Chain A
């Protein structure tokens, strides 16, 4: 199996404080991988490293055949200005940017795809609602619809189900399964281990360093979780000493 991306001795951090330390792992093409770990383990930082928002302090993220355009990223806290006068359709249609750019026409065929994406996340009937009037769950559905249109080969999700109701979560998990079925690579930071066990075949456990990576059943063990917690507690001091006393 080909690796969609490989973390090669990847070290990421802010202001020289290491948050992810010498990570070595390969994410297989078409895999559905959950990234788990205690708070402060560097999960979100890792995704920022993948999209290139954060330059590595050491090592690199190697992409096999993926280009920048093949990535789609849903941040933990999206920057969407909810007071901005946009409708659901407007926001979802932004997902077509790579196709239409600043001048391309958003014609009938493309609008039909926008409507299909909105239907796929269960928001039919909400097309013309201003984004300011949406609930948290509806907003997350809208952002997933935009991700659908981005048609990305690698989808990165940072805690997509935080503060989301159970029904929305079930629907959005359906979207993730659909991506998996289409052979796209999905990397999702998640907190809830039950969700991970039920829906994610692979898991990468992170505690600033790699704890374990592989089939979810073998990674999410009590032993690994304890080890991850200890490693992060050992790192609770000055972050740069992380990794020395924690083996």
Chain B
């Protein structure tokens, strides 16, 4: 039965229930952050930040072993340092933020790879890179749920300045001193969600659950509220389907979840009513956009 295929794994195995809860928490926190990343045209910044976290997590691992706390703190410090340094360089020099961010994340990534490779090929460390979604303990689940709650709360509090910072940063700067605060708080949320995500999905895959659902949602709606809800739903469904696929077909869980999210993106790209390829190809829609341009 179809329900057996879907419910049985979660009914039978505690690790599957824990994995699902962890992934749902990540979906609820990371997907809305991803929507704002996309609206600020910073999706690749998320990717860069995900790489920047690596040396911090690696150092945390070296100092304290496979400890949730040490790796979380290490990843947070590395991510924040890269975000703050690149933001600082962009504000005091002529170098734009994307370039300075690229510079710092590459330094950070190289440092991380050096640390990882000089300290042996440990299986546990591979778990850091590719995630341990099927082995989330209580502390990890509490961390993931806390990050999701904090993210939603912060987005709610900062919603207005964040929208203004995205849509018209010059105006926000001219009427309020909140611009830099908003920018860096948002970057902190990105780092926080990536650090939370790497416990489950690994540093390489964590950014996927942030960026792909948001990108897919853009083809279904243009409003911010709808984008947020749709992206959370896509992220949650991807988590569920990815976990089931990995259970039934013995696939690695993290990549399976991201591949489902990727499929959702490709389907949305094709069929999405809000600017999807099919919608654009329909003749009525085509003339409508053509007249708007003249």
Which chain A residues have a beta carbon within 8 Å of chain B's beta carbons? Answer: 51, 53, 69, 71-73, 75, 78-81, 84-86, 90-91, 94, 97-98, 101-103, 130, 133, 146, 150
Contact = CB atoms under 8 A, between A and B. Distances in A.
A85 B166 CA distance: 10
Contact of B163 (A80, A86, A133, A150): A86
A89 to B, nearest CB: 13
Interface in B8-39: 39
B227 A85 contact: yes
B282 to A, nearest CB: 18
Most interface-central of B157, B161, B167 (chain A CB within 10 A): B167
Contacts of B41: 81
A53 B170 CA distance: 10
26 contacts: A69-B175, A71-B174, A73-B174, A75-B170, A78-B170, A79-B168, A79-B169, A79-B171, A80-B167, A80-B168, A81-B167, A84-B39, A85-B39, A85-B223, A85-B224, A86-B163, A90-B163, A97-B172, A97-B176, A98-B175, A101-B160, A101-B176, A102-B159, A102-B161, A130-B222, A150-B175
A130 B222 CA distance: 9
A84 B164 CA distance: 10
Nearest to B173: A53
Most interface-central of A81, A84, A150 (chain B CB within 10 A): A84
B68 interface: no
Interface in B155-214: 157-161, 163-164, 166-176, 178
B167 A86 contact: yes
A75 B294 CA distance: 26
A142 B155 CA distance: 27
A66 to B, nearest CB: 14
Contact of A79 (B159, B163, B170): B170
Contacts of A73: 174
A97 B39 contact: no
A94 B222 contact: no
A94 B170 CA distance: 12
A94 B164 contact: yes
Contacts of B161: 102
A81 B166 contact: yes
Nearest to B39: A84
B166 A84 contact: yes
Nearest to B94: A15
A101 B160 CA distance: 8
A69 B177 CA distance: 11
A233 to B, nearest CB: 28
The 9 closest A-B pairs by CB, nearest first: A79-B170, A84-B167, A85-B222, A80-B168, A102-B160, A97-B175, A81-B167, A102-B161, A73-B174
A73 B170 CA distance: 10
Contacts of B158: 102
Given A84-B39, A85-B222, A85-B223, A102 B167 contact: no
A80 B174 CA distance: 13
A91 B167 CA distance: 9
B292 interface: yes
Interface residues of B, dominant DSSP: helix
Given A78-B168, A79-B170, A102 B227 contact: no
Nearest to B158: A102
A187 B196 CA distance: 51
Most interface-central of A51, A53, A81, A102 (chain B CB within 10 A): A102
A51 B171 CA distance: 12
Nearest to B178: A102
A73 B172 CA distance: 11
Most interface-central of A53, A85, A86 (chain B CB within 10 A): A85
Nearest to A132: B222
B157 A102 contact: yes
Contacts of B171: 78-80, 94, 146
B39 to A, nearest CB: 6
Contacts of A103: 160
Contacts of B178: 102
Interface string B32-62: 0000000101000000000000000000000
Nearest to A14: B94
Contacts of B173: 53
A94 B227 contact: no
A106 to B, nearest CB: 9
A133 to B, nearest CB: 6
Interface in B123-159: 157-159
B67 to A, nearest CB: 37
A13 to B, nearest CB: 15
A97 B164 contact: yes
Nearest to A102: B160
Nearest to A134: B292
